[in-house]
Amino acid sequence: MFEKSSWIRLPRNVVVGHGVLDEVVPVVSDLHLDGRPLLVTSPTPRTVAADPIAADFRESGVDPAMVTVETASFDAVERVIDAVEAEDADYLIGVGGGKAIDIAKMASHHCDIGFLSVPTAASHDGIVSNRGSVPDGDTRHSVAAEPPLAVVADTAILAEAPWRLTTAGCADIISNYTAVMDWRLAHRLKNVEYSGFAGALSEMTAEILVENADSVRPGLEEAAWIVTKALVSSGVAMSIADSSRPASGAEHLFSHQLDRLAPEAALHGHQVGVGSIMTAYLHGGEKGVWLDIRNALESIDAPTTAAELDIDDETVIEALTTCHEIRDRYTILGDGMDEGAAREVARETGVIG
């Protein structure tokens, strides 16, 4: 008897383009959301986007509440959950980078209320996904979270953001190549459930981005457009899979461990990009895919070495040899790399000197 079933939750409206920040209030109306919004933001995105959105709401006769978070943590999620009750909020709007959006989507999941995603940086592919990702002590949780009802991505704001944020988003997408390799490996060796649709969408997203790398240049609003479309597509792949597997393999374990060992040293996307060079090498060995990944990262000005991440070589080795422990996710790292092997892959790929 056929017993499979799946429930794919995707946003109803995805609005991307120049000046679309003004569309947040109309989008809320299109979704028939009533009552009071709580804007969840972080310091810079507050000035860039959350304050103007709040002004638009006030003009439309709605009094929005606002909470500003500083770090991606379960404490921050708790603060937002408390604010929902204290401010009598009916739905949430995450305004910012990955931090603010993850916290908003996790709080909305807990409170069972709707959530909109308003990215101010094209820096990560959590814009659309139904996953939240936060560190918790020695581990990292990728938890089920509320997918956004709508996404409003203003390319004028995204193009004005520091260029490094956009290159981080590109690197997060390029890392899909190795994430899917790890996912297939886990499927073959550990019988982990694999979705061919989600895997293909994730790989195709990385391919389209790399093919358009010439247009991904600072100062071009088209770059924000191309990268945002890719981030949306990658998030859809995660929602189809109902897992971050299509976009997160060993290169993400490496990055999550760097977050613990060298907090705030580099952006998430940049760390996963460097991780991806090394895990592609482990998957194939021969020059080929890992060099393609390194060249693609170089072509969009993303870091390819420990020095460019501003992280010392020994920390890279420590992250490589320990990161398999932080989450129960089978990857090319298996049950861990020994130190000599870690040094060799990092040297051979030029990540360390």
Nearest distance from C-beta of residue 122 to ligand 13P, angstroms: 13
Q: Which does 72 bind (CB under 5 to 8 A by kind): ligand NDP, Zn ion, ligand 13P, none?
A: ligand NDP
**Residue 347: alpha-carbon gap to chain centroid:** 28
Strands 91-96 and 65-68: unpaired
- Interface residues with ligand NDP (CB under 6 A) are 42-45, 48, 72, 96-100, 102, 120-121, 123-126, 129, 131-133, 157, 161-162, 165, 168, 172, 238, 244, 267-268
Residue 346 token pair: 């990092």
Q: Which does 198 bind (CB under 5 to 8 A by kind): ligand 13P, ligand NDP, Zn ion, none?
A: none
Residue 5 token pair: 């079933």
Contacts of 141 (CB under 8 A, 6+ apart): 132, 133, 134, 135
Q: Compare residues 56 and 172 and give the one whose CB is closer to ligand NDP.
A: 172
End-to-end CA gap in the chain: 57
Q: Which does 165 bind (CB under 5 to 8 A by kind): ligand 13P, Zn ion, ligand NDP, none?
A: ligand NDP
Specify the 3-state DSSP secondary structure of 236: helix
Q: Which of 56, 102, 146, 172 contacts Zn ion by CB under 5 A? A: 172
Q: Which does 162 bind (CB under 5 to 8 A by kind): ligand NDP, Zn ion, ligand 13P, none?
A: ligand NDP
Is 251 a binding residue for Zn ion by CB under 5 A? The answer is: no
DSSP letter at 140? E
Residue 297 token pair: 């990262």
Residue 120 annotated as part of some ligand binding site: yes
The letter for the amino acid at 76 is A
Q: Compare residues 142 and 212 and give the one whose CB is closer to ligand 13P.
A: 142
The letter for the amino acid at 266 is A
Determine contact, residues 38/81, Cβ cutoff 8 Å: no
Q: What's the CA gap between 57 and 344, in Å, rounded? A: 56
Q: Compare residues 37 and 132 and give the one whose CB is closer to Zn ion.
A: 132
User: What residue numbers does the annotated binding site cover?
Assistant: 98-102, 120-123, 125, 129, 172, 252, 256, 268
From the annotation, which residues make up the binding site for Zn(2+)? 172, 252, 268
Instruction: Mark the binding-site residues for NAD(+), compressed into ranges.
Output: 98-102, 120-123, 129
